[in-house]
Structure 1
Amino acid sequence: MKIRSQHLLLPLLLSLLAGACKQHSTPEQKRAADSLAARKEFASSPVLSAQESLAQLHVEKGFDITLAASEPLVVAPVAMSFDERGRMWVVEMMGYMPDTVGTGEDMRNGSIAILEDTNKDGVADKRTVFLDSLVLPRAVCLIENGVLVAVPPYLWYIERNGDAPGRRTLVDSTYAVEGNVEHQPNGLLRAMDNWIYNAKSDKRYRKKGNQWLIEKTHFRGQWGISQDNYGRLYVNNNSVNLEGDYFPPGFGAGNSSQRDVGGYTERVVRNNRVYPMRATPGVNRGYTKNTLTDSLRLANFTAACGPLVYRGALFGAAYDNNAFVAEPAGNLIKRNILKDSGYAVTGRQAYADSEFVASTDERFRPVNLSTGPDGAIYVLDMYRGIIQHKTYLTDYLKNEIRMRNLSLPLNCGRIYRIAPKGKAATMPDFNVSPAGLVALLDHPNGWVRDMAQQLLVDRRPAEAIAPLKARLANTAQPIGALHALWTLEGMNALDFDLVRPLLLQGDAQLKQQAMATLPAVLNNSNQAAIIALLKTFDADPRTAPMLGYLLPFLRKYDAPAADNLLTQLSRLYADDRYVADALISAAPGREKELLQSITAWNSDTALVINKRLQKVLRDISESKKAKLSEAVLNEYPRGYKIFTTVCQTCHGPDGNGIQSLAPPLNESQWVNGERERLIAIVLFGLTGPVEVNGKVYKAPEISGDMPGIGNNDEFSDADIAQLLSFLRKAWSNNADKITDKDVKATRLKLKGRQKAFTVEELLKL
């Protein structure tokens, strides 16, 4: 039975199963009956008005969820930023997947709209279009008197003339030049350290006068990015609940040969289970084992996005520093509870079998979450039937879309507000003096603290310097002191005399952040004093990783002292992964020299630092072999283009895989092996554990599924042959080419197949 004919056979199967259940049903019959009953219950999926959909939303007891905006005021919201007036700057991606083949995705119908609540009743009533005629805009960030806007492939800075666009500056011409809509940079989070970070990206940005700085950072996440009270970043990818950093975000990315740096993009919450309120058969891999439960409900994250570390204070102490994660495929929002434990941040799900928010409306698609100026959580509901991009859309999901007409609606969008019942929330007033803005750095709502810091950094009022210095001296309340520290750094008003007292006090996070500001204050006149002080920190395991990350900055002034400190740290913390990786990060191009110096005093190859160095040296060797030749690029240009669009975002530009996403393609036995098996993987996908070059890759270390592209009309058999031939000749691979006839023959042999292959099935081909 083909899946597409399933809806025609439902009545007959239900009748047969009902008869079977009257007798003694087997567990398999009961599971089948449960599945069919669930499908019957949710056989239709009507488009609901905003009020009707709101009625189907269920939120944790003690909370209210209300509409803050809905169509026609907003359509297909995917990202937003609040300004200091409490207005929402909303990115509308109206062109996303109008149908199952993405017809019209290149239309200029995206917008950046400003939504305002003029009568202060909690619901937006005024819409001002700041920018329109955009193709699939993705992110927005307010800075100084302008707006950063991400419109692939560009990142623009657009000055504001009131609420109208002014002069444009191209910040990055390659911001989102590769990948598809699901796998391009986004987020534009203005973090505590005054840099702007992104998800699905390894770049960070900062405005210095009229100049834009672009630096390399860690590759993080897929859609959405957040920070905690200490400026540590949090992300996720579609099948992973929550990942995050243990250390300040601007460090540890200095060694391009180091693929995995301890303490960055760590798995914070390992439990990926979800609990939808309704059957969710309309997920891309719904036909695969364990994707859906017996009642056809999503079992684990498949579209996790929009992580938010809650810092709003309105919810109460039990919710402070909780991480909320949106799951549009399951029509829900998860709550996780985070905890600091030494270096690490660990987390657990808040509930055993339910969610913070869940809906029985299939078109409720929460794609991003924000804390508001009032401390409430704002939910961006794209309100779409189709949320899977055409690149990976399976025949199974196409059929689900047809059965319930999920291609509609295209003109809806909602923004919800979640707040405790009966708890008054007030909008802060930023129309205050510079000293008043400094006072707001201690506000209980983290959004308010962030905004106060940003306004001070943007305006640079001289009269704020004295109160900022006074606030920095008071470390009894460390969170406000942290904001004062980074505000002074952003205003170019920080010096070592201000930082030194923080380095000598006891709060570990404040001390770590103070160390993170040292590169901004280090100069010829104070370098000796700074190095002398840092040498006294080497016996403190709480500061040892940051010492390692600071070594490249110290080396510019006193190379022997920096090298001596590196040697001392390597001896004291040879079995500490975080310190070891910090030291390797500080020694780009000198990994072999560092390994030799370590083995000179301890030849134990089981030492963590030894093993980590050996791994980096192997990666360097592989990378040297993995250079793409001009001949391969010239022979397979279409294959290379498809690789950069579809494969590179998970498998890496050098084919050596990306941590937490996908295994290597370079020197993979699956790429270089039997043609038919490789074709089958690309046509239908691969699920479950897979061994590549002796290492087993499986969830949650990587995404558990690789989607196929055989059902995508955008790619012909000749295109797929070009892609596979390119992969088989790229980097260190050297296998024979694959032709479109080979692809056609495999399609014919596997005609009627819908689901992804397992390794066991592939080996039988």
Structure 2
Amino acid sequence: MLSPEASLKAMEVEKGFEVELVASEPLVVAPVAMAFDGQGRMWVVEMTGYMPDTLGSGEELPVGKIVILEDKNGNGKADKRTIFLDSLIMPRAICLIGGGILVAEPPNLWYYEIVDDRPQNKQLVDSAYADGGNVEHQPNGLLRGLDNWIYSAKYDWRYRRFQDGTWAKEKTHFRGQWGISQDDWGRLYYNDNSSNLWGDYFPPGLGAGNANQRKVAGYGVTIVADKRVYPIHPTPGVNRGYMEGVLDSTGRLVNFTAACGPLVYRGGVIKGLNAFVAEPSANLIKRNVLDTAGYRTTGKQAYQGREFLASSDERFRPVNLFDGPDGSLYVIDMYRGIIQHSTYLTPYLKDEIEARGLTRPLGMGRIYRVFPKSAARDRVTIPERTDSLIALLGHPNGWVRDQAQHALIDRRQKDALTGLRSVLIGKHSPLQVIHALWTIEGLGELTVADIRAALNHDRWEVRSQALVALTSLGGNAAGQLIALMEAHLAPTDTLLAPYATLALASLASADRATAAPVLERWALDHPDNPYVADAAISGLAGYEEQFLRKAAIQLQDTSAVLYRRISSVIDQIRGKAAGGNQASLARKYPEGMTLFRTACQPCHGENGEGVASVAPPLAGSEWVQGNKERLVALVLYGLTGPVDVAGRTYKAPDVSGEMPGIAHNTAIGDEDLAELLSYIRNAWGNNADDEVLPEDLGKVRSEFGDRTKPFTQQELFVLFGKD
């Protein structure tokens, strides 16, 4: 263990940058997330109960907190701690909104009004926000997006608080694992523990309207594929350090294994378009440089052979990254020895933890800020005046722009509408224009005239935001909105065509009779554009076969992208129809169903269809339905490398490169595991002849003993055959 001052000295940061300590124990303990309020105070989530030892003993105890940290003497460091909430069980995310705060405390999502820095009028927003899964695979983030909806990582629902205080919950795309961020145009970015950076090309609230679509082009895209990391000291304490290729010849981690907390930096003082990613297992923070071309975003690592920030202190555990009021990059350091959860903790890592005494001490934590030494960092406090807030919608710091938008909405400052509408038609920066547009929308005052004003803007990015915003006017105005859209867009506009099609798909869900014919026409005008094709299909739920017949007549080309995509969705629908009775399976295998939701569903999906960029499907998988001993071995000891499922090869970065085994998890008994495997062998249309019994697990355990290395596909084929 190092003191905060010593830990600072153990860091190497990119030349020209400086790292400062903002807070440390005892002011902050086991921090995992935070949010700044308009006064620049930090509201911090403390997950104090996480992994007190290698067994996770006591994680169910109510010891978590939400605390407020303040800098009272103005020296840049927190010197006052106020406990806002205590007695929480493993809290994981917060969001300040509407004069209150959302708190994620699994399985619940709570809302508290804030009165004099005290919680009042506790309200249950959702009793199933984080239902199922383990602590590494539960929703988190609660990012308040540009479009006024709240998005989460490891989740496919979004939330919104309206002006009357009511809450809405809507389906969206499944995204990421731990941490979520947005760029200046409101597009979301995320990752999983073994990936660098994924993201969306298009706005987050669209394109998720068809439950039969497994993948929508432009969502869940690999933005930075390079997963190489460069620790500055040996890192044997990673979960599979014994495996060939995990550590290099000097004992340093080779690729991401605990990537988290991605941040598309918008603070205004670090030059360029950057995305930072934390890697707590290797004690470092990665910098990626992004580039945009039209609606596409690509990226690469900023450096080869080195990192933006790396530490030789093994307990430096950066788990989340945030923009701040002064433009700095803020780093949440959980500061502890154990970072891997017990669900997937290998015997190898347990031994490493014991050998180096990493279980203790507990009760520590730090928050740092990183900034260019030469940068002028002006800390902005969000003002009360309406005109000042409107001006701040164009501030260089994205955090300030967001906060100005939130303040106008949360305070219900409808006296701002005249000023906001003048921004829409004036000579203002594109970013100020889109924030003005979404502020009007957030106030519940958006009109067709506002959409028209934004559609007349010179920048295509602003026009794309207008197309997204018009969907919030709903189906009642579908005809008027479609006329407006078609008056401002040509079918040949390939840049805005995906946005227009996504918007039409959203309108079709509210007014099919009006919107669907236009949606279908747009799709048929772009038969080989995968983004338009998938956008259109997202609005055709329940009408896929009718549209396929129409497409077959008009296209007369079954090789067209549109034809192939809609055919694939129809195959998916037919597969579900033959899927059997899930309810009866749940009754037959209750413990197996429960274990599936906890251990498997986060990666393989609720319906066994797989999760894009995470894991392949279980439904229709020969691995699930075939040789049961092969399946047992795979689940007990894990699988690494490419895997073939139903005629398709799944490999990184399309999915995570490894499935962890659970042979050494003493919390899962063989009877429950046998039920789980029997359940998945007969769910979602799977039809295996023989059940998995506890003695089947015992047989495989006796054959492979304390094996810790995961299998490869070829090894399993040699051992058990391909059938």
- Range into which the TM-score falls when normalised by the shorter chain: over 0.9
- TM-fit CA distance, 1:396: 1.1
Which amino acid is the alignment partner of residue 318 of structure 2? Answer: P
What CA deviation, in whole Å up to 9, does each residue of 1:591-615 have, x standing for no partner? 1111111110223222111111121
User: How many angstroms apart in 2 are the aligned matches of 1:183 and 1:114?
Assistant: 27
- TM-fit CA distance, 1:620: 1.3
Judge conservation of contact 2:104–2:140 (CA < 8 Å) in 1: yes
User: Is residue 2:375 matched to residue 1:420?
Assistant: no
Q: Specify which of 692, 696, 710 is matched with residue 756 of structure 1.
A: 710
Q: Specify which of 584, 606, 615 is matched with residue 631 of structure 1.
A: 584
**1:24 matched residue in structure 2:** none
What CA deviation, in whole Å up to 9, does each residue of 1:165-213 have, x standing for no partner? 1111100010001100000000000111111110001111111112101
Residue pairs, 1:204-603, within 5 angstroms: 204-208=158-162, 209-315=164-270, 317-318=271-272, 321-521=273-473, 527-528=479-480, 530-531=482-483, 533-534=485-486, 536-555=489-508, 562-603=515-556
Q: TM-score, normalised on structure 2? A: 0.97
CA RMSD of aligned residues (A): 1.6
Aligned residues between the structures: 716
- TM-fit CA distance, 1:471: 1.4
Give the 3-state SS of the residue equivalent to 2:393 in structure 1: helix
**1:59 matched residue in structure 2:** 13
User: How many angstroms apart in 1 are the aligned matches of 2:292 and 2:643?
Assistant: 33
**1:27 matched residue in structure 2:** none
- TM-fit CA distance, 1:427: 1.6
Report the CA distance shift for 1:663/1:475 in structure 2 as closer, same or farther (over 3 A): farther
Judge conservation of contact 1:537–1:543 (CA < 8 Å) in 2: no
- TM-fit CA distance, 1:504: 2.6
Report the CA distance shift for 1:747/1:527 in structure 2 as closer, same or farther (over 3 A): same
Judge conservation of contact 2:478–2:515 (CA < 8 Å) in 1: no
User: Is residue 2:110 matched to residue 1:159?
Assistant: no
What CA deviation, in whole Å up to 9, does each residue of 1:43-100 have, x standing for no partner? xxxx111111111011100011011000010011000000001000000001111111
Please, which moves more after superposition, 493-502 or 454-463?
493-502
Judge conservation of contact 2:479–2:515 (CA < 8 Å) in 1: no
Give the 3-state SS of the residue equivalent to 2:383 in structure 1: coil
Judge conservation of contact 2:476–2:511 (CA < 8 Å) in 1: no
Report the CA distance shift for 1:342/1:627 in structure 2 as closer, same or farther (over 3 A): farther
Which amino acid is the alignment partner of residue 394 of structure 1? Answer: T
- TM-fit CA distance, 1:434: 0.7
**1:85 matched residue in structure 2:** 39
- TM-fit CA distance, 1:539: 2.0
Give the 3-state SS of the residue equivalent to 1:155 in structure 2: strand
User: How many angstroms apart in 2 are the aligned matches of 1:376 and 1:144?
Assistant: 25
User: How many angstroms apart in 1 are the aligned matches of 2:580 and 2:588?
Assistant: 15
User: How many angstroms apart in 1 are the aligned matches of 2:580 and 2:197?
Assistant: 33
User: How many angstroms apart in 2 are the aligned matches of 1:422 and 1:562?
Assistant: 53
Which amino acid is the alignment partner of residue 451 of structure 2? Answer: V
User: Is residue 2:93 matched to residue 1:139?
Assistant: yes
User: How many angstroms apart in 2 are the aligned matches of 1:337 and 1:505?
Assistant: 28
Report the CA distance shift for 1:627/1:548 in structure 2 as closer, same or farther (over 3 A): farther
**2:568 matched residue in structure 1:** 615
Q: TM-score, normalised on structure 1? A: 0.91
User: How many angstroms apart in 1 are the aligned matches of 2:142 and 2:506?
Assistant: 27
Report the CA distance shift for 1:563/1:633 in structure 2 as closer, same or farther (over 3 A): closer
Judge conservation of contact 2:289–2:299 (CA < 8 Å) in 1: yes
- TM-fit CA distance, 1:532: 5.0
User: How many angstroms apart in 2 are the aligned matches of 1:752 and 1:298?
Assistant: 24
Judge conservation of contact 1:626–1:654 (CA < 8 Å) in 2: no
Report the CA distance shift for 1:59/1:614 in structure 2 as closer, same or farther (over 3 A): same
Give the 3-state SS of the residue equivalent to 1:580 in structure 2: helix
User: How many angstroms apart in 2 are the aligned matches of 1:276 and 1:475?
Assistant: 47
User: How many angstroms apart in 1 are the aligned matches of 2:427 and 2:473?
Assistant: 20
What CA deviation, in whole Å up to 9, does each residue of 1:606-658 have, x standing for no partner? 21111111211121122223354333222211111111100011011111211
Give the 3-state SS of the residue equivalent to 2:523 in structure 1: helix
Q: Specify which of 646, 666, 687 is matched with residue 693 of structure 1.
A: 646
Judge conservation of contact 2:139–2:155 (CA < 8 Å) in 1: yes
Give the 3-state SS of the residue equivalent to 1:729 in structure 2: coil
Which amino acid is the alignment partner of residue 220 of structure 1? Answer: R
**1:22 matched residue in structure 2:** none
- TM-fit CA distance, 1:501: 2.5
User: How many angstroms apart in 1 are the aligned matches of 2:359 and 2:265?
Assistant: 33
- TM-fit CA distance, 1:514: 0.7
Report the CA distance shift for 1:67/1:581 in structure 2 as closer, same or farther (over 3 A): same
Residue pairs, 1:4-83, within 5 angstroms: 47-83=1-37
Report the CA distance shift for 1:627/1:439 in structure 2 as closer, same or farther (over 3 A): farther
Which amino acid is the alignment partner of residue 685 of structure 1? Answer: G
Q: Which has the larger radius of gyration?
A: 1
Which amino acid is the alignment partner of residue 247 of structure 1? Answer: F
Question: What percentage of aligned pairs have identical amino acids?
Answer: 52
- TM-fit CA distance, 1:748: 1.0
Judge conservation of contact 1:258–1:585 (CA < 8 Å) in 2: yes
Please, which moves more after superposition, 74-83 or 340-349?
340-349
Which amino acid is the alignment partner of residue 313 of structure 2? Answer: D
User: How many angstroms apart in 1 are the aligned matches of 2:237 and 2:580?
Assistant: 41
Which amino acid is the alignment partner of residue 408 of structure 2? Answer: L
